[in-house]
Amino acid sequence: MTAPSVLSIPVRLLRPWRTAALWTACAHVAVDGVVAVLGALAVTWFAVALVLVPIGLGIPLVIAARWTLYGLAAFERNRFAATGGRDIPPATPPDLSGPVIQSARRLITDRTLWRHIGYFVLLVPVSAVTLGGLLIAWSFPLALLLMQVYWARRPAGEIVVGPLALGGVGAAIAVTVLTLALGAVLVPRVMRLLLALDIALADALLLPSPHAVLTQRVEHLQRTRAATIEAAEAERRRIERDLHDGAQQRLVALSIMLGRISARLKKSGDLETRALAEEAKRNANEAITELRNLTRGLHPPVLTDRGLDAALSAVAAQCPIPVEVDVRVTPRPSITVESITYFVVTEALTNVAKHSRAERARVAITRTGDRLTATITDDGVGGADPACGSGLRGLTDRVAGVDGRIRIASPAGGPTVIEVEMACE
């Protein structure tokens, strides 16, 4: 193993000075004091605003201070990404829309806000340490380098460092070389330690808490699930339009053409061929009926055009038992909620007709604020159990897809009551 050359030692000492990490760390630490002062002012502003809340003057000040703290925290995240080499995910502020009291409660209980406050409070002593370390790390070597000027101006031609008195040019050169070596070794390490202290504080308080991460994850899953459901409903509507405007219209045209052919064959007296044409026409009409039922199961056009009241009234008219429909939904919810409500009611009425032996049923749909409630009641024999059939399980799955709730009460002897509640998007 060969020993390292003498020239390689200065090269290794100067390597940290040739990289941008040292200078970006210095720039980062140098700004700590400014951010600490701004953060302390914002925290003081927030505290004063909280004191003024009981007399009604502090609410707008609290909101403004909260936005200021979030803005400073966002600046810190960008600063760490630019000069600290640390990517810190952004925090999502709470929604303050709605009643003032609820917004104030969400603001006061915002854990991320209090973590930001803790960060800026602790940044004051931390910035004092980092700025002090920055000044010492740079000023001490620079001060020793000025020893030559000090030596040249002393009448005795010597350097006095505390109790030591060094004389001669050799001593001055030795001090200079030692100072350069110490500076080359210590300054990068000191700046790396100071930056690590800053990063540790940011990781502790600027990183989203596990609770915030979980909340954001749940919100993301809710958004993606809602988008998936909306895409599925849009695809249902597209298929329904394609079938209605394409295949169904062609079958109708075919049925009309077969009718004309049958009429001509009747005049010509070709009864056997006319019978075949009539059979083909009947098959075409049956296909049209099946296709209409299929498109109605995908997404009935009347639901889009006229809403739940008209669509469910048409379903009730086809039910083998009398069904009373009462729809009070103003304003109309989203097409996704309307579609889910329509299919839930349709499936429930199908189950009533097949299994309940009921004499009548009732459907009531109301909207209260941002909640829609659908209640399906029948006077049948009861005993409906979601665990024993796919129909009721299908209702539960549909409603759960939009974070809705379904309650089924069906004691033996009846009546059966199905209540569905979901948010109006």
Give the best-scoring range by mean pLDDT among 114-118, 189-193, 239-243: 114-118
- CB contact set of 40 (below 8 Å; sequence gap of 6+): 120, 121, 124
Q: What Rg value do the Cα atoms of the chain yield, rounded? A: 40
Minimum mean pLDDT range among 113-117, 172-176, 292-296, 382-386: 172-176
**What local confidence, expressed as pLDDT, does residue 150 receive?**
59
- CB contact set of 53 (below 8 Å; sequence gap of 6+): 59, 62, 104
**What local confidence, expressed as pLDDT, does residue 3 receive?**
47
Are 302 and 342 in contact by the 8 Å Cβ rule? The answer is: no
Q: For residue range 24-49, list pLDDT tens digits in order.
A: 888 888 899 999 999 999 999 888 88
Burial of 361 (0-12, 13-18, 19+ CB in 10 A): buried
Percent of the chain exceeding pLDDT 70 equals: 70
Are 25 and 195 in contact by the 8 Å Cβ rule? The answer is: yes
pLDDT at 263 over 90: no
Distance, in Å, from the CA atom of 377 to the CA atom of 416, rounded to the nearest integer, reads 6
Please name the residue that has the structure tokens 């604020």. 369
Q: What's the whole-number mean pLDDT along residues 277-288? A: 83
Percent of the chain exceeding pLDDT 90 equals: 14
In terms of pLDDT, which residue wins out, 182 or 82?
82
In terms of pLDDT, which residue wins out, 146 or 63?
63
Q: For residue range 4-13, list pLDDT tens digits in order.
A: 444 444 555 5
Q: Which of 70, 71, 85 is nearest to 25 (CA)?
A: 85
- CB contact set of 385 (below 8 Å; sequence gap of 6+): 392, 410
Q: For residue range 203-252, list pLDDT tens digits in order.
A: 888 887 777 667 767 666 666 666 666 666 666 666 666 666 677 778 78
pLDDT at 276 over 90: no
**What local confidence, expressed as pLDDT, does residue 268 receive?**
79
Handedness of CA 266, 272, 273, 277 (dihedral sign): positive
- How much is the mean pLDDT over the chain? 78
Minimum mean pLDDT range among 184-188, 261-265, 316-320, 408-412: 184-188
